[in-house]
Chains A and B, each alone.
Chain A
Amino acid sequence: MLSTDHDILAAAEAWTREGRGVALATVIETWGSAPRPVGSHLVVDGEGNFLGSVSGGCVEGAVITEGMEAIADGRARVIAFGVADETAWRVGLSCGGRIRVFVEPVT
């Protein structure tokens, strides 16, 4: 079963209740053929366990790393991925699209 946004926010709340550090990533902008729509969520804990998808697999690794950093430093951030950023980011979107993702700790 694929996880829905409902499962993801429910997991974020449940994980927080368990005392785990939690960060939430949300796709806030897309251009071109980005695979996941605006509003899609991914939730990650301090160990890198995650649920959901922001790009269909292309940049999840980097988003999870950013999420773990957000848990550690308590700060929200906006990160961008895509063709134009390929020199700045080691990962890109093979589909040729671009996305911006808001990553925030649950506090």
Chain B
Amino acid sequence: MQRDHLAILNAERAARRAAILVTDLDGGAQRVVREAEIAADPLSELLGRHLASGRSGLAEVEGRSVFLTVQAPPVRLVLIGAVHISQALCPMARALDLSIAVIDPRTAFATPERFPGIDLVAEWPDEALGGAVPALDRYCAVAALTHDPKIDDPALIAALRAECFYVGALGSRKTHAGRVARLAQAGLGAAQTGRIAAPIGLNIGAVSPAEIAVSILAQIVAAQRAPRAGAAA
């Protein structure tokens, strides 16, 4: 690999943009295609498919064996609510190598003692996102856990508009029906609100905050690893 290709890959990752390294295994020729360049690339269809799935792999191009290294930005997890479930969830998310931010305007909840070493922002989601917390993108997972529509709704709206690959919200089916009605009033379509995982988490009968945290993280991993054409494309 040429040094400048390596530098481009690292720079794109730092800027949270996807890139694909295309290696001709027969001749050894290599090039980097940035996310924004895929549409105009001769291999756009193939590259687009790999980007959507997030998977590296071999392909056959005009009789030559080609390897595509797909580099998607690292996943960020944004938790809305410095609540008990979030306290259980943070160390588990760290073990999964997710970078984490917790947002809660209620200063009684958002204390460093409750979230040691975690990027914690005691602001409303609208202020925090794009400010103290980088703006959401499609490589983000957002879980709204406060039960308070004043806090959760703005974050959910931002997450759906940014096409975050995972958007989940705590609350019963009845609570969620009310939420969907409010989000529809805010101008979101059924296809957007239909993407919210609610009640949040895989149905494993979770009871304790730690168990609920496991069910949420398992759902996030599934959303990340399952072919995500449609979800993130």
Contacts from A to B (Cβ < 8 Å): 2, 4-6, 9-10, 12-13, 16, 24, 26, 28-29, 37-39, 76, 78, 102, 104-107
Shortest C-beta distance, B2 to chain A (Å), equals 6
Shortest C-beta distance, B139 to chain A (Å), equals 13
> Nearest 9 A-B pairs (CB), nearest first?
A39-B56, A28-B67, A13-B6, A76-B28, A38-B56, A106-B1, A13-B10, A104-B1, A16-B3
Contacts from B to A (Cβ < 8 Å): 1-3, 6-7, 9-10, 13, 23, 25, 28, 55-58, 67, 69-71, 74, 97
Shortest C-beta distance, A80 to chain B (Å), equals 12
Complex: A30 Cα to B70 Cα, angstroms? 16
A-B contact pairs, 20 of them (CB 8 A): A2-B97, A6-B13, A6-B74, A9-B6, A9-B13, A10-B10, A12-B6, A13-B3, A13-B10, A16-B6, A24-B1, A37-B56, A38-B55, A38-B57, A38-B58, A39-B55, A39-B56, A39-B57, A102-B67, A106-B2
Residues of chain A with a CB closer than 8 A to B6's CB: 9, 12-13, 16, 106
Having A38-B55, A39-B56, A102-B23, one finds 4 other A-B pairs with CB under 8 Å, namely A6-B13, A12-B1, A16-B6, A39-B69
